[in-house]
Amino acid sequence: MNEYNTGRTHLILKEYGRNVQKLIDYLSTIEEKEKRSKYAHTLIDLMKQITPSHKDSPESPQKFWDDLYIMSDFKLDIDGPYPPPDKDVLERKPDKVNYQYNRIRYRHYGKNLELLIEKAINMEDPEEQEAAIIYMGKLMKSFYTTWNNDFIEDDVLVKQISDMSQGKLTIDIDKVKEGNLFETLYKEKKRVNKPNPSSNRSNGAKPNRNNQNRRRKV
């Protein structure tokens, strides 16, 4: 006689399949607790083979035993390595994930630039701090040119660095302009057109032949 899905009992945990559910139902009918516990350990090994991906998680050992209790409707009385979970585990809603809202003042520079600014603020050596400011200026100009396809003045970059550091990172704008310290890191490579050998013929030049330079023998 064929067994249709509409006439079958509801599967509590579908990832283990109906055969495991039937084995658990049979396990509950065994009268001897010692025998039930022995078969339960064998059934756990079977559950591990059916779902090998669960082995990698750190909570997998207890998870298999929790699933065993859940699929028995919390009625299984055995001696296992873990106590049965609470019945409200099935109705418990997962914890709400808190979204991280990182307020980036200048989004086209990205979050990593703000991390660099925080690191530069904590530098004690003034020369190292100034070198960090110059590097960030170069980086900011490169980012701005790439994303906006436009030019940005050095004094604007100095002001933005000061704003993002709350006035803790400053540099002399005249020094920046005189030394061109904020020159972009990435420069566009100019394409060099290779000479075409066939172009000499179009200009009327004759190909150089070695045999023309040789003297003819009489």
Q: What is the pLDDT along the chain (218 residues), one digit of tens a residue?
A: 455 455 566 787 888 889 999 999 999 899 999 999 999 999 999 998 888 776 666 667 888 999 999 898 888 899 989 988 887 766 666 666 655 555 667 777 888 888 899 999 999 999 999 999 999 999 998 888 877 777 889 999 999 999 999 999 999 999 999 999 998 776 554 444 555 555 455 455 555 555 544 445 44
Of 22, 2, 3, nearest to 12 by C-alpha is 22
Contacts of the segment 21-30: beta carbons below 8 A, 24+ positions apart: 21/71, 24/68, 24/71, 24/72, 24/76, 25/72, 27/72, 27/76, 28/72, 28/75, 28/76
Instruction: Extract the tokens encoding 28.
Output: 């509950």
Residue 190's pLDDT is: 45
Residue 191's pLDDT is: 45
User: 39, exposed or middle or buried, with CB in 10 Å at 0-12, 13-18, 19+?
Assistant: middle
Residue 53's pLDDT is: 74
Distance from the first to the final alpha carbon of the chain: 111
Q: What is the residue type of 216? A: R
Instruction: Extract the tokens encoding 48.
Output: 């591990």
Handedness of CA 7, 10, 16, 21 (dihedral sign): negative
Identify each DSSP E strand in the chain by its residue range: none
pTM (predicted TM-score) = 0.42
